[in-house]
Amino acid sequence: MSHNSSDQEVEFFLSFLYNAIKGDERYTPIIISLLEDAKLLASGKSVYDVDKTSLNLKILIDRLAHAWLLNVNVSQPSVQDLKELEKIIIENKNYAIA
10 closest CA partner among 95, 19, 2? 2
pLDDT tens sequence across 54-64: 999 999 999 99
Total domains in the chain come to 1
* Distances in whole angstroms, Cα of residue 72 to Cα of each of 4, 8, 24, 37, 64: 29, 25, 21, 13, 14
Rounded Cα–Cα distance for residues 47 and 54 (Å): 11
Domain encompassing residue 80: 5-97
pLDDT of residue 97: 59
When computed from its CA atoms, the radius of gyration of the chain, rounded to whole angstroms, is: 12
pLDDT computed for residue 7 by the predictor? 83
Q: What is the mean pLDDT of the chain?
A: 92
Tens-digit pLDDT profile for residues 75-96: 999 999 999 999 999 998 876 5
User: Model-level pTM?
Assistant: 0.89
